[in-house]
Amino acid sequence: MNHNSPNELPVKLYRSRERLTIAAPLPGLEPQDISVKVSNEGESTELIMEAPLRGAFKGDKEVLYDEWSPGPYYKHLVLPAAVDASMANLTYENGIAVLTLPVAERTVPAVLGLKRIGGTVGQTIGNAGHPVRPNSSADHNARKSEVTKRQPNFLASRSRQLTHEVSESLARHPEGSQPTGQ
């Protein structure tokens, strides 16, 4: 395998009324390795997704079989609609990059990268909701953190409620005097 020429990058392209979504397998990368560029070339909206070679073969080992490498990756697509790339969401987890672009009246170009949020997970948040509204990674993470903080309170409250209900039931029906269904 020639590690200098880009790997064929298969993608899935989905369309809803409000968004285009592109998913692409990019195994073996770090989030900061991935770059996406959306541009307006004349009448068409074009997307380029790419990443460099990472962790090239090192050492004195003889390669016996070589069908895959962690980069370089390259994909050029002409998108079926104008999009606002400044409001794009881009995530990378488990070796899959997912790009969500709001459909727009005219293309707003942008160059997108990923911010590491843990391990080999990265994200860039630019929109949320239905209908699409602007958002940011910082706002997204703040809301996510707030929900996570509330969950233990909800669980503790629900646990107290269930304990109270069981206690009341036991008080009404001491052991051995359970109703028989009549």
pLDDT band for 159, please (50, 70, 90 cuts). low
Who has greater pLDDT, 71 or 155?
71
pTM above 0.75, yes or no: no
CA 127 to chain centre: 13
pLDDT at 40: 93
User: What is the C-alpha to C-alpha distance for residues 83 and 16, in angstroms, rounded to an integer?
Assistant: 12
Do 157 and 124 fall into the same domain?
no
Q: Is residue 16 in some structural domain?
A: yes
Who has greater pLDDT, 180 or 43?
43
Q: Is residue 108 in some structural domain?
A: yes
Domain count, the chain: 2
Task: List pLDDT tens digits, range 37-51.
Answer: 999 988 899 999 999
Q: Identify the bridge partners of residue 78 per DSSP, sorted by sequence position.
A: 46
Do 102 and 145 fall into the same domain?
no
Mean pLDDT of 2-19: 86
Do 129 and 39 fall into the same domain?
yes
What is the domain range of residue 160?
A: 137-174
